[in-house]
Amino acid sequence: MKLQNTYLNLPSIFYQKVNPSPVAEPKLVVFNEALAKELGLDVVQMKSAPEVFSGNKIVPGSIPIAQAYAGHQFGHLNILGDGRAHLLGEIIDAQGQRWDMQLKGSGLTPFSRGGDGRAALGPMLREYIISEAMHALGIPTTRSLAVVTTGETVDRDTRLPGAILTRIAASHIRVGTFEFAAVKGGVEAVKALADYSISRHYPELINSSKMYLAFLNSVIRSQALLIAKWMNVGFIHGVMNTDNMTISGETIDYGPCAFLDEYDLSKVFSSIDQRGRYAFGNQPLIAQWNLARLAETLIPLLDDDQKVSIKLAEEAIVSFFGLFQKFHLQGQCAKLGFEKIYPEDAKLIQQLFQCMTQAKADYTMIFRALTEEKLHQHVEFQQWMKSWEQRVQAEGLSIADAVKIMKKNNPVVIPRNHFVEEALKEASVNYNYAPIEALAKILKEPFKETSENTKFRESQPGHSLHFQTFCGT
Contacting positions for ligand AMP (CB under 6 A): 80-84, 111-112, 115-118, 239, 243-244, 253, 255
Please tell me the distance from the alpha carbon of residue 33 to that of residue 399, in angstroms, as a whole number.
Answer: 39
Q: Which is nearer to ligand AMP, 275 or 307 (CB)?
A: 275
> Which is the catalytic residue, given 82, 243, 264, 273?
243
Between 270 and 364, whose beta carbon lies closer to ligand AMP?
270
State the minimum distance, in angstroms, from the CB of residue 88 to ligand AMP: 16
The least distance separating ligand AMP from the CB of residue 149, rounded to whole angstroms, comes to 16
Write the Ramachandran bin of 249: left for phi over 0, alpha for psi from -120 to 50, otherwise beta: left
CB of 11 to Mg ion, least distance (A): 22
User: With CB cut-offs between 5 and 8 Å by kind, which of Mg ion, ligand AMP, none does residue 264 bind?
Assistant: none
How far apart are CB 187 and ligand AMP at their closest, in Å?
A: 25
Residue 116 interface partner, choices Mg ion, ligand AMP, none, CB cut-off 5-8 Å depending on type: ligand AMP
Quick one: what does residue 80 bind among ligand AMP, Mg ion, none, with the CB cut-off 5 to 8 Å set by partner type? Answer: ligand AMP
Does 243 participate in catalysis according to the annotation?
A: yes
Choose from Mg ion, ligand AMP, none: what does 84 bind? Cβ within 5-8 Å by kind.
ligand AMP
Please report how close the Cβ of residue 242 comes to Mg ion at its closest, in angstroms. 10
Residue 431, CA distances (Å) to 29, 358, 469, 472 in order = 9, 42, 21, 21
Residue 253 CB, nearest distance to Mg ion (Å)?
4
Residues 6+ apart with CB under 8 A from 428: 120, 121, 122, 125, 160, 161
- Considering CB distances under 5 to 8 angstroms, the limit depending on partner class, which of Mg ion, ligand AMP, none binds residue 81? ligand AMP
387 binds, among ligand AMP, Mg ion, none (CB under 5 to 8 A by kind): none
User: 372 touches which of Mg ion, ligand AMP, none (CB within 5 to 8 A by kind)?
Assistant: none
Q: Which is nearer to Mg ion, 154 or 240 (CB)?
A: 240
117 binds, among ligand AMP, Mg ion, none (CB under 5 to 8 A by kind): ligand AMP
Do residues 202 and 247 touch, judged by C-beta distance below 8 A? no
Tell the smallest beta-carbon distance from residue 160 to ligand AMP (Å).
12
Buried b (16+ CB within 10 A) or exposed e, 171-185: bbbbbbbbbbbbeeb
Q: Closer to ligand AMP at the Cβ: 115 or 461?
A: 115
Cβ-based nearer residue to ligand AMP, 243 or 264: 243
For Mg ion, the closer CB: 222 or 473: 473
Q: Which is nearer to ligand AMP, 164 or 355 (CB)?
A: 164
Kindly report the three-state secondary structure assignment for every residue of the chain: CCCECHHHHCCHHHEEECCCCCCCCCEEEEECHHHHHHCCCCHHHHHCCCCCCCCCCCCCCCCCEEECCEEEECCEEEECCCCCEEEEEEEECCCCCEEEEEEECECCCCCCCCCCCEEEHHHHHHHHHHHHHHHHCCCCECEEEEEEEEEEEEECCCEEEEEEEEEEECCCCEHHHHHHHHHHHHHHHHHHHHHHHHHHHCHHHCCCCCHHHHHHHHHHHHHHHHHHHHHHHCEECCCCCHHHCECCCCECCCCCCEECCECCCCCCCECCCCCCCCCHHHHHHHHHHHHHHHHHHHHHHHCCCHHHHHHHHHHHHHHHHHHHHHHHHHHHHHHCCCCCCCCCHHHHHHHHHHHHHHHCCEHHHHHHHHHCCCHHHCHHHHHHHHHHHHHHHHCCCCHHHHHHHHHHHCCCCCCCHHHHHHHHHHHHHHCCCHHHHHHHHHHCCCCCCCCCCHHHHCCCCCHHHHCCECCCC
| Site residues, Mg ion (CB under 5 A) | 244, 253
* Smallest separation (angstroms) from ligand AMP to the CB of 215: 24
Q: Between 359 and 471, name the residue whose CB sits nearer to Mg ion.
A: 471
Name the residue with the smallest CB distance to Mg ion. 253
Residues serving a catalytic function are: 243
